[in-house]
Amino acid sequence: MKKLSRHLVLARARAPTLSAVRRLNVWGSDLNDVSLVKEIQNLEVLTLSRNSISSLHDLSSCKHLSELYLRSNCITSLSELHFLEALPRLCVLWLAGNPCCGSDPVAYRLSVLRCLPNLQLLDNQSVTEEERLLAQQEGKVIPPASIRASDACESVVEVIEAAVEDPVRFNLAETNMIRKELGLKPLPEEKFACSNSALLFDRTCGSKKSCVLEAVLLLLQELKQEELHIVLRTTEQQLSLLRS
């Protein structure tokens, strides 16, 4: 398995820069990581068939994408389709041959069309208006995909590093930018001010530990009861290790 590289993209697309790439075909390239597509902002047609892609998270940044070919990959859940909802121009999708398609082709198709009603061509078959209406009535509601733990961790690290480098910039705007990346609602100014006043440390010290504490306390506000119990158990275990 390998990661999509800049060299491969420019070679396949015969383009001088990533911004010049409009169409990209990496069929059968043994790829399992295509995070580089987030940097190909003008991409319109993407062929990823016959690879080992398991998540569509990285494709949510390709706002100009109109055609996406994902046949025969490793996508196990239709929940990944929610990452494609942010693509206003997407009208062609080929998903057949993935584990998420299941054994009932009719149910699968209606579920996909309910989630992505603007598709005109699904698995090389035209979408009719009748089928589109039926999908809204009988198609299964697909639950949202969960953000990957690695992405959440990376975002938290970015918050911490930014705060260590310049604590003054660790403000409401910076916090809400990270929350947006995590799929969370922006924090109101009043709530942000309240959260900051509760933090027991001097901002001017620039301490890394203090910045870590602030990031953790802000993110704790978004956890549900079960998740908070996990944090509590982990904290108790860590305290036990520190005491021993």
State the Cα–Cα distance between residues 105 and 173, nearest whole angstrom: 45
CA atoms of 84 and 121, how far apart (whole Å) = 15
The two tokens of residue 222 are: 């978004």
**pLDDT tens profile 12-44:** 999 999 999 999 999 999 999 999 999 999 999
- To the nearest whole percent, how much of the chain has pLDDT over 70? 69
Kindly report whether the global pTM for this prediction surpasses the value 0.75.
no
Query: Residue 244 pLDDT > 60, yes or no?
Result: yes
Backbone angles phi, psi at 129, to 5 degrees: -65, -35
Compute the chain's Rg from CA coordinates: 22
d(CA 210, CA 188): 22
- What does the pLDDT read at residue 11? 96
Nearest residue to 58 via CA among 158, 137, 147: 147
Query: What is the predicted pLDDT for the residue at 74?
Result: 95
Amino acid 71: pLDDT: 95
Question: CA-CA distance, 106 to 117, in Å (whole number)?
Answer: 15
Alpha-carbon distance of 152 to 92, in angstroms, equals: 30
CATH of 2-138, one of 3.80.10.10, 3.40.50.2300, 3.40.50.300, 3.40.640.10: 3.80.10.10
The ranges assigned to domains in the chain are 2-138, 149-243
CB 116 within 8 A of CB 81: yes
